[in-house]
Chains A and B, each alone.
Chain A
Amino acid sequence: GAVVSQHPSWVICKSGTSVKIECRSLDFQATTMFWYRQFPKQSLMLMATSNEGSKATYEQGVEKDKFLINHASLTLSTLTVTSAHPEDSSFYICSAPTRSSGRAYNEQFFGPGTRLTVL
């Protein structure tokens, strides 16, 4: 299957600083990527859709000025958590859809996630 990587895998930062998380599709191009947030023992919560060449689309309740998304190329999307606070501590996961030839549906491939801890 397709491979999606994330960097860093974990990060600890001080309150008030900004943190950038990268999401890369390694063997396919992704015009669209998705960013999720996940709390312990819970399901994934979609934060935003990252669109290559245009603005990201944010889900209701997600602050776009807080979570900056840039889809710089067909293989890279970045999520920047600005002025991070302890309540932003979470597991952040990105994903990218890809469609195999002959299939009428997309398959979604997820990155390994980034554990953010804000002190």
Chain B
Amino acid sequence: TQLLEQSPQFLSIQEGENLTVYCNSSSVFSSLQWYRQEPGEGPVLLVTVVTGGEVKKLKRLTFQFGDARKDSSLHITAAQTGDTGLYLCAGPVGLGTSYGKLTFGQGTILTVHP
């Protein structure tokens, strides 16, 4: 079973601070995805990382895929109150699968205070 361990589970910070969320596994993933979910809504895809060592930036968000494709991180610079939400990492079940089934990390609840 491919599991994703996400940390921290809760993060409460002040506006303007930086933060990093980690997503680790003992298994290799062909890709990893990061989602953001607001209360009462479905998750929204932020990014997919595919290549080991890949770094992708989305405005103040930086996503990194580990060289061995077993871990990923999400770094937010100068957090804003609008970044508040549940952040989820997810990866396809089975190396190289095209099936679409995902396994999710436990999620990180981020609260950014003004």
Q: From residue A29, how far is it (CB to closest CB) to chain B in Å?
A: 13
Binds A, one of B35-43, B62-70, B76-84: B35-43
- Given A32-B100, A41-B86, A41-B109, the answer on whether A110 and B50 have CB atoms closer than 8 Å is no
Determine whether the beta carbon of A108 is less than 8 Å from that of B45: yes
Contact of B41 among A32, A104, A113 (CB under 8 A): A113
A25 within 8 A of B: no
- For residues 66 through 113 of chain B, which have their beta carbon under 8 Å from a beta carbon of chain A? 86, 88, 90, 92, 98-107, 109
- Tell me the number of A-to-B contacts counted with CB atoms below 8 Å: 67
In the bound assembly, the distance between CA atoms of A112 and B39 in angstroms comes to 10
Tell me the count of chain B residues lying within 8 A, CB to CB, of chain A.
Answer: 28
Q: Which residue of the partner chain B has the closest CB to A104? A: B50
Q: Which of B6, B30, B40, B101 is packed against the most chain A CB atoms within 10 Å?
A: B101
Determine whether the beta carbon of A107 is less than 8 Å from that of B48: yes
In the bound assembly, the distance between CA atoms of A111 and B42 in angstroms comes to 6
A58 within 8 A of B: no
A61 within 8 A of B: no
A-B contacts, 18 listed (Cβ < 8 Å): A32-B100, A34-B100, A34-B102, A41-B86, A43-B6, A43-B107, A44-B88, A93-B43, A97-B99, A97-B100, A104-B50, A105-B30, A108-B100, A109-B45, A110-B42, A113-B40, A113-B41, A113-B42
Binding site for A on B (CB under 8 A): 6, 30-31, 33, 35, 40-45, 48, 50, 86, 88, 90, 92, 98-107, 109
